[in-house]
């Protein structure tokens, strides 16, 4: 199969790799039809990690199930699935607590918790910027999409990482209905944070990143508004300088 492969710092190539295949009875094999490039891929791409040459990128994946292992029950061949970037087992203490990013069984390094596709230090799993992807514990890790999966697959593929990442920032910040929110970052995650804010509140003053100029406004911080004291939180500074503007700020650069 063809795949996007790391060939050293700032060097990525498309090359023929061994086909992904079912290796364990709990595996699902997905034919990839959409996959995103992530800001997190830059850590590996720029050579700032110990990502090994020859590994396949891609942790934001969507496609059609073409084969299932003997122990797979819930997922069927032909399902269109989105695959969250973390690989969880579904049965360890952390997975059962909902902390699948810190799965205790899928990373073979006993000193590490958590695994992901095509990512440094998160297990040996190949990424999905390829024609096929092996999904371990497919019943747990595949999100089966509804009838309109094909029609909206470029939207649904954002469920693998970008949208929940942007949304999670609103959860961490405790955004409430009616809040005014500043979103830092105008990339995909920032846009998803702004989307999550807009959908969680019917009447916020929406400030954030939106090139369309629709319901959000681009904010360009003035020099004197930027945090200058490392001991002072960014949110604290915003309150100090704009007490009537924002209740929360979301750092969504990524």
> Is 79 one of the binding residues for Zn ion (CB under 5 A)?
no
How many Å separate Cα 9 from the centre of its chain? 22
Residue 57 beta carbon to Zn ion: minimum distance, rounded to whole angstroms: 10
- Euclidean distance between CA atoms 108 and 115, whole angstroms: 9
> Is 122 one of the binding residues for Zn ion (CB under 5 A)?
no
Residue 42 beta carbon to Zn ion: minimum distance, rounded to whole angstroms: 10
Quick note: the x/- pattern for Zn ion over 31-50, rule CB under 5 A, is -------x-x----------
- Euclidean distance between CA atoms 183 and 185, whole angstroms: 6
Residue 201 beta carbon to Zn ion: minimum distance, rounded to whole angstroms: 26
Residue 251 beta carbon to Zn ion: minimum distance, rounded to whole angstroms: 16
3-state secondary structure 163-195: HHHHHHHHHHCCCCCCCCEEEECCCHHHHHHHH
Q: Which stretch binds Zn ion (CB under 5 A): 47-55, 71-79, 140-148, 155-163?
A: 155-163
Residue 80 tokens, joined: 């269109």
Interacting positions 201-220 with Zn ion (CB under 5 A): none
Residue 231 tokens, joined: 């001991």
CB of 127 closer than 8 Å to CB of 56: yes
Q: Which stretch binds Zn ion (CB under 5 A): 75-83, 87-95, 136-144, 242-250?
A: 87-95
> Is 92 one of the binding residues for Zn ion (CB under 5 A)?
yes
> Is 179 one of the binding residues for Zn ion (CB under 5 A)?
no
Q: Which stretch binds Zn ion (CB under 5 A): 49-57, 90-98, 121-129, 199-207?
A: 90-98
Q: Give the three-state DSSP class for 56.
A: strand
Per-residue b or e along 195-210, where b marks 16 or more CB atoms closer than 10 Å to that residue's CB: bbbbebbeebbbbbbb
Q: Give the three-state DSSP class for 26.
A: coil
State the burial class of residue 36 (Cβ atoms within 10 Å of its Cβ: 0-12, 13-18, 19+): buried
> Is 88 one of the binding residues for Zn ion (CB under 5 A)?
yes
Q: Which stretch binds Zn ion (CB under 5 A): 82-90, 143-151, 172-180, 216-224?
A: 82-90
Among 124, 151, 135, 161, CA closest to 31:
135
Q: Which stretch binds Zn ion (CB under 5 A): 154-162, 173-181, 198-206, 226-234?
A: 154-162
Q: Give the three-state DSSP class for 223.
A: helix
Q: Which is nearer to Zn ion, 49 or 235 (CB)?
A: 49
With CB under 5 A as the contact rule, the residue among 62, 89, 115, 194 that binds Zn ion is: 89
Residues that bind Zn ion (CB under 5 A): 38, 40, 60, 88-89, 92, 95, 103, 161
């Amino acid at each position: 199969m063809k795949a996007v492969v790391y060939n050293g710092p700032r060097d990525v190539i498309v090359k023929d790799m061994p086909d992904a295949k079912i290796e364990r009875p709990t595996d699902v094999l997905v034919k990839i039809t959409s996959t995103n490039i992530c800001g997190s891929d830059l850590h590996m791409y720029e050579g700032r990690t110990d990502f090994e040459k020859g590994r396949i990128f891609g942790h934001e994946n969507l496609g059609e199930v073409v084969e299932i292992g003997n122990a797979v029950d819930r997922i069927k061949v032909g399902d269109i699935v989105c695959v969250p970037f973390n690989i969880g087992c579904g049965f360890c203490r952390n997975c059962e607590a909902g902390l699948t990013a810190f799965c205790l069984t899928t990373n073979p390094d006993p000193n590490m918790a958590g695994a992901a596709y095509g990512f440094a230090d998160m297990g040996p799993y190949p990424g999905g910027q390829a024609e096929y992807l092996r999904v371990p514990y497919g019943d747990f890790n595949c999100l089966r999409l509804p009838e309109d999966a094909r029609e909206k697959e470029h939207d649904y593929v954002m469920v693998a990482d970008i949208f929940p990442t942007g949304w999670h920032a609103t959860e961490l910040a405790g955004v409430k209905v009616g809040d005014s929110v500043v979103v830092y970052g105008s990339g995909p995650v920032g846009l998803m944070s702004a989307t999550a804010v807009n959908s969680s509140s019917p009447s916020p003053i929406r400030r954030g990143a939106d090139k369309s100029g629709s319901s959000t406004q681009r904010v360009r911080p003035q020099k004197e508004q930027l945090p200058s004291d490392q001991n002072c939180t960014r949110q604290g500074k915003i309150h100090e300088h704009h007490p009537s503007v924002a209740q929360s700020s979301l750092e969504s650069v990524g």
